Amino acid sequence: MSDNPDFGYSELLLPVLVYLQTHLDSDLSLESVARQADMSPYHFHRIFQAAVGETLKQYTQRLRLERAAYQLKIQDASILDVALGVGFHSHETFSRAFKRWSGTTPQEFRDAHGHLRAPQPGRGQSLNQYAIHYELSQVRVRKLHPISVAYLRHTGPYLAVGVHLFDTLITWAESRGLYHGDNLLIGIGHDSPATTPADRLRFDACLEVPAGAQAEGDIGTQVIPPGYYAVTTYIGPYGRTLEQAYHTIFQRLSQLEEYDIIGLPAVEIYCTTHLDPDYELNHTDIYIPVRKR
């Protein structure tokens, strides 16, 4: 039986990849994930490595450390909470793994406002063609650091927002020495499609820049305020499924017992260095502002 993903294994593995990205704090042992794929551990190991180019352990370790680096950069959470939130069981284990991966301790990385590693294209991206659904993580309330951004505003349907806005921001930042290759890409939705006419919806395409960067022409600057946000990780394509995901997210937020929903603006942080509208395994963290009761 061939291990080539073109022989049908991709349809089986894609839901597993989506599951891994939304359950990094869960048991992702070979035995557990093989059960998720309804395969024997031995068979799953062979198929996964052939299709993705990494073993399951290497793949999940890398995802956990990449997610941790991103959270250290933007969230006001203790290092232990970051470690536990991405599936490590102790501060010490996490710190050792993080230093091997990044060359710095988690605290040194945070103190230096660390730079995230740009995701490297891998064989797993060939599985994109089989993506037909999305998945959401559990909702977690996190405190966000203030984030300074440059932005271009789109007015009109959210589904009509163009990737070119982000490309324009990157080109502008590069020409002014404000771009270091992994600035956060962020979207801010100011209005609810349920109450605001589609042609009046406001969306800001944003690029993280140093505090104090000056506005210029159509490019403005703003600060995403610090505070408590309900965070949900969305894995899937952009478009209608993201719109559907928002309905589910707000239904879940209505069940929070210790927080009230502020609701807007909704902040989308795209865990990539370049938005690809055709890629259907996009990782987006959706931040909805909340307040403690």
For residues 104 and 240, state if they share a domain: no
In a domain, 129, yes or no: no
Tens digit of pLDDT for each residue in 108-134?
988 886 554 444 434 444 444 444 578
Provide the pLDDT for residue 270: 94
Q: What is the mean pLDDT of residues 93-104?
A: 92
140 and 95 co-located in one domain: no
Q: What is the mean predicted confidence (pLDDT) over 228-254?
A: 87
- Domain co-membership, 145 together with 252: yes
Q: In terms of domains, do 225 and 271 share one?
A: yes
Predicted confidence (pLDDT) at residue 2 exceeds the cutoff of 50: no
Tell me if 215 is assigned to some domain: yes
State the pLDDT at residue 113.
63
- The verdict on 280 and 180 lying in the same domain is yes
> Is 47 a residue whose pLDDT tops 80?
yes
Q: Are 173 and 233 in contact (CB under 8 A)?
A: no
pLDDT on residue 4: 40
Q: Does a structural domain hold residue 152?
A: yes
Provide the residue range defining the domain that includes 21: 5-123
Domain count across the chain:
2
Is the pLDDT at 206 greater than 80? The verdict is yes
Which of 99, 123, 147 represents a domain boundary (last residue)?
Answer: 123
Looking at residues 171-189, what average pLDDT do you find? 94
Residue 143 reports pLDDT greater than 60: yes
Instruction: Answer whether residue 32 is part of any domain.
Output: yes
Which of residues 97, 123, 149 is at a domain's end? 123
Q: Do both 60 and 165 map to the same domain?
A: no
CATH of the domain at 50: 1.10.10.60
* CATH code of 159's domain: 3.20.80.10
DSSP string, 47-74: HHHHHHSS-HHHHHHHHHHHHHHHHHHH
Q: Is residue 115 part of a domain?
A: yes
**Three-state secondary structure readout of 161-175:** CCCHHHHHHHHHHHH
Does 240 map to a domain? yes
Is 50 domain-assigned? Answer: yes
Higher pLDDT, 205 or 272: 205
Residue 51 sits in the same domain as residue 165: no
Q: What is the pTM of this model?
A: 0.72
Lowest-pLDDT range of 4-8, 194-198, 260-264, 267-271:
4-8
* Residue 131 confidence (pLDDT): 44
**Given this model, what pLDDT does residue 56 score?**
93
Say what the pLDDT of residue 5 is. Answer: 36
Question: 181 lies in a domain?
Answer: yes
Q: Nearest CA to 108 among 95, 117, 123?
A: 95
Q: Is 242 helix (H, G, I), strand (E, B) or coil?
A: helix
Q: For the chain, give the mean pLDDT.
A: 84
pLDDT at residue 213 is higher than 80: yes
Instruction: Name the range with the highest mean pLDDT among 8-17, 32-41, 233-242.
Output: 32-41
- 38 and 152 part of one domain: no
Q: What is the mean pLDDT of residues 136-140?
A: 92
Instruction: Identify the domain boundary among 123, 155, 170.
Output: 123
Residues 59 and 104 in one domain: yes
Overall residue count recorded for the chain in this entry: 293
Of 62-66, 166-170, 201-205, minimum mean pLDDT range = 62-66
**Are 216 and 286 in the same domain?**
yes
The tokens describing 10, both together, are 């991709």
Average the pLDDT over 199-227 and give the result. 92
How far is Cα 71 from Cα 79, in angstroms, rounded to an integer? 9
Whether residue 228 sits in one domain with residue 191: yes
Sign of the CA dihedral 82, 85, 90, 96?
negative
Q: Are residues 219 and 277 in the same domain?
A: yes
Parallel, antiparallel, or unpaired for β 266-270 and 282-292?
A: antiparallel
